[in-house]
Structure 1
Amino acid sequence: MLVSHSDLWSMTRTTTGLCMRSDPRRPGGISGAPHWVKVRPRALYGVASEKKKSPIFTGDELHYVSVPNSDWTLALWRYLPSPQSQGRPRRNHPLLLLSGVATNAIGYDLSPQSSFARYMSSQGFDTWILEVRGAGLSTYRMDFGKVKQPLDAMKDSSVEHGMDGIFPSSQESTLDCGAFSDFDISNVNRKSFLEVRQNSAIVSQISDVSQRLVNIIEKGQLPVPEQFLDLQGRFFTRLEEFQKLLDLIVKYDWDFDHYLEEDVPAAMEYIRTHCKPKDGKLLAIGHSMGGILLYAMLSRCCSEGRNFGFTSIATLGSSLDYTTSKSSLKLLLPLADPAEALNVPVIPIGALLSAAHPLASRPPYFLSWLSSQVSAQGMLHPELLDKLVLNNFCTVPAKLLLQLTTAFQEGGLRDRSGTFFYKDYLRKSNVPVLALAGDQDLICPPEAVYETAKLISEDFVAYKVFGEPRGPHYGHYDLVGGRMVADQVYPCLTEFLSRNDVI
C-alpha cells in the first residue's frame, strides 16, 4: 500500500519503538498539543499535527516494535476501549488482530461505518492490529538510535529538545510518496538502500511472472474486444512505478515462517509488556492468513511443549489444508515452479489488482469474477470495495507464496524445511477456537475451514458457517467488513471472546 502520507508527527528519541498518539476523546482524531507520557525504553511516543490528519492511519495510537535480528520494524495500530464501552465488563486481555496475505490494517478499519477494530473497541477490548513486515506502515531500517531525520522527506531539519531527548520540530512538513497504492514506504529512509543497485535481470523476472499472473486472469474470461481488455498494458504501466522501488524490493526475502517465528511473537511480547494482562495472555482474531498463523502457532507450541500465549482465538476464512476444497487460490499454483526457477524476489499482487479492478467493478464488467473473490454480491458498498482493493493489498515475496502453496498438497501447510506439518499437532491444543466460514467464500470455502477445525478436540472448538440459502451470502472479506457483520458476525465473536476472557 502506498498512499500520499502528509501527516508527520513529533518524535522523542529512544532505542527501538515509536508510537503516534491520537486524542482518545475523538475517535480517529489527532490531538493538537504534545502529550508526553512516561514510556519504557522500547517505546517512542509523539503526537500528530492536527492541521493534517493522515489519510492512512485511522487508529488511536500507532506503535512501532522492532523485530530482533531483523532490519524490520512492525506497525501496530491500537484502538483504545471507547466511551461507548463504559458499563460493560472490564476486559482482562488485549485483543490482537492479524490480517491476510498481502494485506494491511485498512481491512479492519475500512470506514467509520465499517470498522471491525472500532466495533471491538466499542465492546471494551483494547484492540491492536499488526502489520507484518512489508505491509502497510511497517518499515525497513528505521534507525531509532539516531533520530534526527526519521522521515527522509521532511523539509525542516531543525530539532527541539524534549524531556526524553531530541525530536524533530513540529512545524508543518509533508511527505509525498506518490500515487500508486501497491506499496508503502512512507516511513522508510531510502538512503539506506543506495548500496543496492538496480538489477535489470530482476526487473525482467518480475515482469515475466507478472505476465503469467495476467495470463491466469485473462484465461478466466470469454473473448472480449481488445480495447476493453487492456489488462497487460494497464499492469505494466503500474510496473514501471513498481520498478522504482527495486532497491527496497530486493530486501523482500522472507516466508511464512518469518511471520510465525519472528513478527507475531515480537508483537505479542510488545502488547503483553504494554498492557500487562495478569496471566500474560492475549485474545486473538485472524482473517485468512492471519488465522493460518494462529493455527500454526498453536501447533508449534504443542510440538515444543511451550505456553500458547493465547486465552482463545478466532479464525475467519482460514485453514491449514485446502486439498479437499475447490479454493480459487489454486489459480496461484502455476506460479510456484516459474517463480522458483527464476528466483523472482516478489509478486506485485497490489499492482496487479489495482490494474485489473476497474475492469471488474465497472461496465462492461469483463473481470467481474475478481470482485467475487473478495466479497459476495451486494455485501460491500462499491465505494468500500474500491477502497479495499486499491489500498489494502501489497507486494509479497515469492518465497511466501511458495510456502503457502504447500497448503494445497497432501498433509497441508508445512514449514520451510518441508518436514513439519502444521496440522499434525492441533489435536493437542487446549486453547478455545472459534472457526468461522462464509458460505460463498471462494478463497477458503467452508469445507476447507472445517478440514482444520475438525482436527481440534470437540471440547475446544466451535465451527460456524455464515450465510443463508436465499441470502445474505458471505464472501472471503465479508466476515470482516460485509454489510451484515455488525448484526451477525461481530456479536458471535464478542460473545465467544467474552466467555473466554477469564484469568
Structure 2
Amino acid sequence: MAAKLLDQVSKLFADSTLSERLIEISDKLSGLLETRQNSSIASQIRDLSQRLVTIIEEGQRSVSPPLFDLQERFASTLEDFQKQLDLIVKYDWDFDHYLEEDVPAVMEYIMAESKPKDGKLLAIGHSMGGILLYAMLSRCVSEGRESKLAAVVTLASSLDYTPSKSTLKLLIPLADPAQVLNVPVIPLGTLLAAAYPLSTRPPYVFSWLNNLISAEDMMHPELLKKLVLNNFCTIPAKLLLQLTTAFREGGLRDRRGTYLYKDHLHKSSVPILALAGDQDLICPPEAVEETVKLIPRHLVTHKVFGESGGPHYAHYDLVGGRMAAEQIYPCIIEFLSQHDST
C-alpha cells in the first residue's frame, strides 16, 4: 500500500510544491515499514496510506478535475497524515519498553555517577515506578541475572489488582476501543486538565477526581492544582492495554501475554519496603498486600499509612501530602540506610 501511495503521488505531483514534503514523508514511511513489518505501526501506516490513495484515485476518476483543487485537498490530508504518522512513532511503546530500555539506561547513568562500592543501587518507585521495580526483580531472577539493587521501596504499587476495587478499572473501557480503532494514544492529561475546573467549582460535578489524588486536607490546594494540570500526560494505547492485564487473573503480563511477572517475585533476594495509603483508591491496600504476600517474609516490610481518625493517605499523598515529610520519608530513609553499603 505504501508503495502504491508513493507511485500515485510521484505521477501527480512531481513538479508541484508538495514534492519536497512528499519525499521527506516517503523516506520516513519506507524506514518504518522496513523495520516494523509485523507491528501495529505498519498496520496503521497502511490505513493512512489508503486514505491518501483513495483521494488521488477519486480525483483521477473525475471528469477533468482541476489539478489545483486536487492539490489543495491532498495538501490538507497530507498534513493530517504527517501529524498522525509522528504521533504513531512518538508513542509506539509499552510497559516492557520501559522495563527493557528506560530502567537499565537510568540505572547505568546513576551507577556511573555514584560509583557505589558494592555495585548496587537503592531504588524507590511510586505507582507504576514501583510496578517496574517489581517486574524488574521478577525478570532478573527468572533469567538468572543480577538485579544490581541492594534494596527497593515501592509506594502504592502492585502487580495484581484483582482483589481490590481500584478505580484504575475505569481505564479498561478505553482499552478495547483504542485497540479496535488503532488509536495510538489516550490523552489522559488533557482530559484531567479539562475536568479539573469542574472538580473545584460549583456544582462540583467531578469533585470525586480529587479523592483519587489526595485525601481531604492532605495536600496544599495550589500543589494539587499543579499536580493535576502538569503531572499527567498522554498515554500510549499499547501501555494502557498491557497494564489492563493487572486486573485479570494472574496479574500483570508481558506484551506477549505469556509471562506473568508475579510468578517469579518470590525467588528474589532483594529486601523490599512496600508502603500503602489507607484511602488510596487507585492502588488500595489490598492490592499492595496481594503482591507483598508473594515476597518471603524475612525480606519484606509492609506498612499502611493512615489512621481511623486521620490523617489519611490517598495515592499521591504518599509522596506529596502535608504529612509525607514527617511520616513517610523518615520510614523510607531508615529502611534504605540499613541496606546502604556506601
Q: Which band: TM-score by shorter chain?
A: 0.7 to 0.9
SS at match of 2:253: coil
2:285 alignment partner in structure 1: 446
AA in 2 matched with 1:494? I
2:261 alignment partner in structure 1: 422
SS at match of 2:171: helix
1:383 alignment partner in structure 2: 222
Please say which structure displays the higher CA radius of gyration.
2
Aligned counterparts of 1:340 and 1:332: Cα–Cα separation in 2: 13
1:405 alignment partner in structure 2: 244
SS at match of 1:285: strand
1:493 maps to 2:326? no
1:479 alignment partner in structure 2: 318
Q: Shift of residue 246 of structure 1?
A: 4.4
> Runs of at least 4 residues of structure 1 off by over 6 A?
none
Aligned counterparts of 1:442 and 1:337: Cα–Cα separation in 2: 23
SS at match of 1:436: strand
AA in 2 matched with 1:382? P
Q: Shift of residue 244 of structure 1?
A: 9.9
- Residues 73-152 of structure 1 aligned to structure 2 (within 5 Å): none
2:71 alignment partner in structure 1: none
1:185 alignment partner in structure 2: none
Aligned counterparts of 1:359 and 1:283: Cα–Cα separation in 2: 40
1:432 maps to 2:281? no
Aligned length: 272
AA in 2 matched with 1:249? L
- Residues 233-382 of structure 1 aligned to structure 2 (within 5 Å): 246=84, 248-251=86-89, 252-382=91-221
1:103 alignment partner in structure 2: none
SS at match of 1:273: helix
1:460 alignment partner in structure 2: 299
Aligned counterparts of 1:245 and 1:322: Cα–Cα separation in 2: 36
AA in 1 matched with 2:152? I
Aligned counterparts of 2:224 and 2:83: Cα–Cα separation in 1: 26
Aligned counterparts of 1:245 and 1:453: Cα–Cα separation in 2: 44
Q: Is the 8 A contact 2:118 2:341 kept in 1?
A: no
- Structure of greater relative contact order (alpha carbons < 8 Å, 6+ residues apart): 2
AA in 2 matched with 1:440? Q
Q: Is the 8 A contact 2:198 2:204 kept in 1?
A: yes
Q: Is the 8 A contact 2:117 2:341 kept in 1?
A: no
Give the RMSD, CA atoms, in angstroms.
Answer: 2.2
Q: Shift of residue 364 of structure 1?
A: 2.3
Aligned counterparts of 1:496 and 1:324: Cα–Cα separation in 2: 28
% identical aligned pairs: 70
Aligned counterparts of 1:305 and 1:353: Cα–Cα separation in 2: 42
Q: Shift of residue 247 of structure 1?
A: 5.2
Aligned counterparts of 2:313 and 2:167: Cα–Cα separation in 1: 15
Aligned counterparts of 2:199 and 2:250: Cα–Cα separation in 1: 35
Q: Shift of residue 338 of structure 1?
A: 1.1
AA in 2 matched with 1:329? L
Q: Give me the TM-score of the superposition, normalised by structure 2.
A: 0.76
AA in 2 matched with 1:328? T
SS at match of 2:303: strand
Aligned counterparts of 2:200 and 2:339: Cα–Cα separation in 1: 41
Aligned counterparts of 1:261 and 1:279: Cα–Cα separation in 2: 23
Aligned counterparts of 2:199 and 2:110: Cα–Cα separation in 1: 39
Select the structure that is richer in helix: 2
Q: Give me the TM-score of the superposition, normalised by structure 1.
A: 0.52
**CA deviations over 1:226-277 (Å, ceiling 9, x no partner):** xxxxxxxxxxxxxxxxx99645422111110000011100111111122211
SS at match of 2:308: coil
| 5+ long unaligned stretches in structure 1 | 1-190, 203-242
**CA deviations over 1:125-145 (Å, ceiling 9, x no partner):** xxxxxxxxxxxxxxxxxxxxx
Aligned counterparts of 2:152 and 2:161: Cα–Cα separation in 1: 20
